[in-house]
Every structure is written in C-alpha cells, then in structure tokens.
C-alpha cells in the first residue's frame, strides 16, 4: 500500500524534473533518493516509458562517454499534465497538512515562481 501511494508522488516528481530539463534514469534514482525514496532501477524506467507512451515525455538518445544514454524531456502535453497535478497537490496539501505546513508550501512555491 505504501508503495502504491508513493508511486504517484514519484511519477509526479519525475514529470516535474523532465519538464525542467532533460533527465535520465540513473539521475532520477539519485534525485529521488535525495528526497527519501528508496527505489531501485526497476522504478524510474517503467514510469519514463509509460509517460513517453502517453505523449507526456519525448526521448532523445545521446552518446555520453562512449555509451548511449536516453534522455527524457517533457512535451507540451506533459506540461499540461504537470499543471493539473500541481493544482491537485495544492488542494491535497490544504486538506491533509496542518495549516503551518501549508504556509511553508505556499512560500516555497512563491519563491520558485519569482525566480
């Protein structure tokens, strides 16, 4: 159940980073570990593939140190999906978090939009 619940967060996280710039699987694993998710290589790749199949990400291969690396980047549809997820996240935060924590969410969102 815990995994089911957090998979949605992980998917949203991956979509967010892919709309910020090109990402690849290993990098996402490290990024998610930084946020406290303990995931193996079996997690990000199926998510990347599903988002690509849905038209939310575009894949581009690039050779790095003699090896082909697959980069994924958000499409316009991916940006629209993220915008909907962000609205639902704010809604969820207001419902489930204590008021003082929601204030912190609001401040960090404002700061990000300002830069």
Chain residues binding Zn ion by CB under 5 A are 31
Burial class (CB in 10 A: 0-12, 13-18, 19+), 49: middle
Smallest distance from the beta carbon of 2 to Zn ion, in angstroms? Answer: 20
Please tell me the number of Cα atoms within 13 Å of 58 on its side-chain side: 8
Min dist. Cβ of residue 98 to Zn ion (A): 23
Q: Residue 56 or residue 66: which is nearer to Zn ion going by CB? A: 56
Nearest residue to Zn ion by CB is 31
What CA–CA distance (Å, rounded) separates 71 from 100?
Answer: 38
As measured in angstroms, the least distance from the Cβ of 33 to Zn ion is 10
């Amino acid at each position: 159940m815990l995994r089911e619940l957090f998979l949605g967060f992980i998917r949203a996280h991956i979509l967010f980073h892919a709309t910020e710039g090109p990402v690849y699987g290993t990098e996402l694993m490290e990024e998610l570990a930084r946020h406290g998710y303990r995931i193996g290589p079996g997690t990000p790749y199926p998510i990347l593939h599903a988002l690509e199949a849905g038209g939310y990400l575009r894949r581009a291969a690039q050779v790095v140190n003699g090896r082909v690396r697959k980069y994924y980047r958000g499409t316009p549809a991916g940006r629209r999906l993220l915008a909907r997820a962000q609205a639902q996240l704010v809604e969820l935060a207001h419902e489930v978090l204590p008021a003082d924590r929601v204030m912190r969410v609001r401040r960090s969102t404002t700061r990000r939009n300002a830069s």
